[in-house]
């Protein structure tokens, strides 16, 4: 009985650590600068990014070719959908939750923008390397 309880507590702790680590990686990538060309793709060069921009960035991300086996947006899409569902259910009644979901959605949008920027940069470097051969 004690072993089962210890295992359950350990499983919960490692899961929580994994989620915090993943969230830290997401925030770290999202804090990188985004090029003006990526922001211009959704007409956001003169305004701060918003959570609603994630949908447009996800669409652009799906259109950009991935020549270097980069990262996708699978977990970030899920997280964004989860935060938006939470906003629809609770955010209307609790303004603090609405603010939190907006911040998290903005982080998801920035992450997608950085991924597009990195993907385009890697593709241009690969094209330049192919031309030089």
Which residues constitute the domain of residue 15? 2-132
CA 127 to chain centre: 26
pLDDT, residue 85, reads 95
Question: How many structural domains comprise the chain?
Answer: 1
Query: pLDDT of the chain along its 133 residues, tens only?
Result: 889 999 999 999 999 999 999 999 999 999 999 989 898 888 887 888 999 999 999 999 988 887 767 678 889 999 999 999 999 999 889 999 999 999 999 999 999 999 999 888 888 888 888 888 7
Of the candidates 2, 4, 126, 3, the one whose C-alpha atom is nearest the C-alpha of residue 65 is 126
The pLDDT value given to residue 70 = 65
pTM for the predicted model, two decimal places: 0.87
């Amino acid at each position: 009985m004690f072993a089962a309880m210890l295992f359950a507590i350990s499983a919960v702790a490692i899961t929580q650590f994994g989620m915090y680590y993943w969230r830290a990686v997401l925030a770290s990538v999202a804090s990188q600068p985004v090029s003006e060309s990526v922001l211009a793709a959704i007409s956001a060069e003169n305004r701060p990014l918003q959570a609603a921009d994630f949908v447009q960035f996800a669409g652009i991300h799906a259109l950009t070719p991935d020549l270097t086996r980069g990262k996708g947006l699978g977990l970030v899409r899920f997280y964004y959908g989860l935060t938006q569902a939470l906003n629809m259910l609770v955010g209307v009644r609790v303004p603090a939750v609405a603010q939190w979901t907006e911040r998290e959605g903005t982080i998801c949008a920035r992450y997608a923008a950085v991924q597009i920027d990195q993907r385009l940069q890697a593709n241009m470097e690969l094209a330049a390397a192919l031309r030089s051969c």
